[in-house]
Amino acid sequence: MKAFVIFACVCAVAYAQFGQVQRTSQSGNQQFGNQQYGNQQGSFASQQQPARSQSAGSCHELNERYPVSGSCDRYIECINGTAEEKLCPDGLRFNPNLNFNAYPCQYPNDYQCLERSSLQPPQPTADCPNQFGYFKLGDARNCSYFRNCVSGVGYDFTCPEGLAFNPDTYRCDWPDEVAACDAEAFLGFRCPEIPISKELGPPAGYRFYRSDESCQKYFLCIEGRPRALACGGDSAFDDLTSTCVSADEVDACPVELRNAAARARKEEKEHQALEQSLSSLTPQQKRRNY
Ligand SMILES: *[C@@H]1O[C@H](CO)[C@@H](O)[C@H](O)[C@H]1NC(C)=O
Ligand SMILES: *[C@@H]1O[C@H](CO)[C@@H](O)[C@H](O)[C@H]1NC(C)=O
């Protein structure tokens, strides 16, 4: 996947450069204010016409944006043929591949900008390392907290239970898939080692274990790494079937939960019986019943 993204980026850049070069040789009298295309082209263009003002580039189309050479957050924006150099807010990256009507600055997970590395100096605040972005909080044992920075103001969030913030993707992922997270320490569970049986060969790829803390929680071990899951409502994890069943069937559950589950089941049964007796009055039911 990463290889594909890199490949796609490289292609996009190659295409953009090719497209620009084509346009230069056609129009001939325009010059690139930025140095993206190397000295050779620059001198070629300046032979045709003396250099224009340096900082802002020139426009090949009335409305367009293109990157400033080597920079990941500076770009030239042409509006009605007038070029102006612009800068993305601190923490964001200029993405040249977007439609002109779209806002051109994106989070680094959306546009990695591998080919242009320089950035404006960060403008940290007491809350945030950059003005904009998503940042992991906590440490490798405490993986679910992250901060969204908007104009240097931080807003804190927590991933859904059992998930870890992934700073590479800006998503909440399974902790075993987040490099910066110690999944075992974070979840407080280490998958038991399964002895390899002579008769049965290596163990199956995954196994379930009920949590010692809660009969409703359980762990899924995939190749020895844990993921935390939970049964919803009044259900609890049944060791024998490795499924969620009504909590009154699970001895490990506290008595209040078991009673609540039993009550809910009884009510559900009564409700169903009532529905059935009501619907038996319809002609269709009558036909089915008699
Ligand atoms: C661009 O030029 C057109 C035609 O001259 C004009 O109507 C429009 O307002 C201009 N737009 C901007 C953003 O300057
Ligand atoms: C985990 O990190 C959060 C955010 O930094 C912090 O508020 C919380 O106290 C930490 N918890 C532990 C157990 O370290």
Q: In terms of domains, do 235 and 183 share one?
A: no
Q: Which of 134, 142, 143 to mutate to test the pocket of ligand 2 (most atoms within 8 A of CB)?
A: 142
Measured from CB, residues less than 6 Å from any atom of ligand 2 are 137-138, 142, 145
At 279 the pLDDT is: 80
Same structural domain, 98 and 114? yes
List of residues 6+ apart from 71 with CB closer than 8 A = 94, 116, 118, 119
Residues 81 and 129 in one domain: no
| Closest atom, ligand 2, to C-alpha of 142 | 1
- According to DSSP, the residues that pair with 96 across neighbouring strands are none
Q: Are 280 and 289 contacting, i.e. CB atoms less than 8 angstroms apart? A: yes
Dihedral (CA of 140, 142, 148, 151) sign: negative
27 in any annotated domain: no
Q: Which atom of ligand 1 is nearest to the CA of 79?
A: 13
Mutate to test the pocket of ligand 1, among 61, 63, 65, 80 (most ligand atoms within 8 A of CB): 80
Indicate whether 55 and 111 sit together in one domain: yes
The pLDDT of residue 201 is: 66
* CA–CA separation, 40 and 42 (whole Å): 5
Q: Print pLDDT tens along the chain (290 aa).
A: 333 333 333 333 333 333 332 232 333 333 322 333 233 333 333 333 333 334 457 899 999 999 999 999 999 999 999 999 999 999 999 999 999 999 999 999 999 888 888 999 999 999 999 999 999 999 999 999 999 999 999 999 999 999 999 999 999 999 999 999 999 999 999 999 877 777 766 666 789 999 999 999 999 999 889 999 999 999 999 999 999 999 999 999 999 999 999 999 999 999 999 888 888 766 665 555 55
* Domain contains 103: yes
Atom of ligand 1 nearest to the CA of 62: 1
* 257, 218: one domain: yes
Give distance in angstroms: CA of 112 to centre of ligand 1. Answer: 33
The torsion defined by the Cα of 203, 207, 211 and 216, in degrees rounded to 10, comes to -160
Residue 231 in any domain: the answer is yes
Asked if the structure places residue 16 within a domain, the reply is no
Q: Which CATH number do you get for residue 170? A: 2.170.140
Closest of 34, 45, 41 to residue 118, by C-alpha: 34
Is residue 117 domain-shared with residue 130, that is, in the same domain? no
116 with 61, same domain: the answer is yes
Q: Are residues 100 and 144 in the same domain?
A: no
In a domain, 12, yes or no: no
Total number of domains in the chain: 3
d(Cα 68, Cα 85) in Å, to the nearest integer? 8
Asked which of 121, 142, 176 is the last residue of a domain, the reply is: 121
Name the closest ligand to CA 136: 2
62 Cβ inside 6 Å of ligand 1: no
155 lies in the same domain as 104: no
Structural domain contains residue 87: yes
Rounded to the nearest whole angstrom, what is the distance from the C-alpha of residue 80 to the centroid of ligand 1? 6
- Domain hosting 65: range is 50-121
Residue that finishes a domain, picked among 101, 121, 141:
121
Residue 212 lies in a domain: yes
Query: Atom 5 of ligand 2 has which residue's CA nearest to it?
Result: 138
129/173 same-domain check: yes
Strands (E), the chain: 64-67, 74-79, 82-87, 93-94, 105-106, 133-136, 145-150, 153-158, 164-166, 171-173, 206-210, 217-222, 225-230, 235-238, 243-246
Closest protein CA for atom 9 of ligand 1: 80
Q: Does 196 map to a domain? A: no
Question: Which one of 87, 121, 155 terminates a domain?
Answer: 121
Do both 108 and 132 map to the same domain? no
Tell me, in angstroms, the distance from the centre of ligand 2 to residue 192's CA.
27
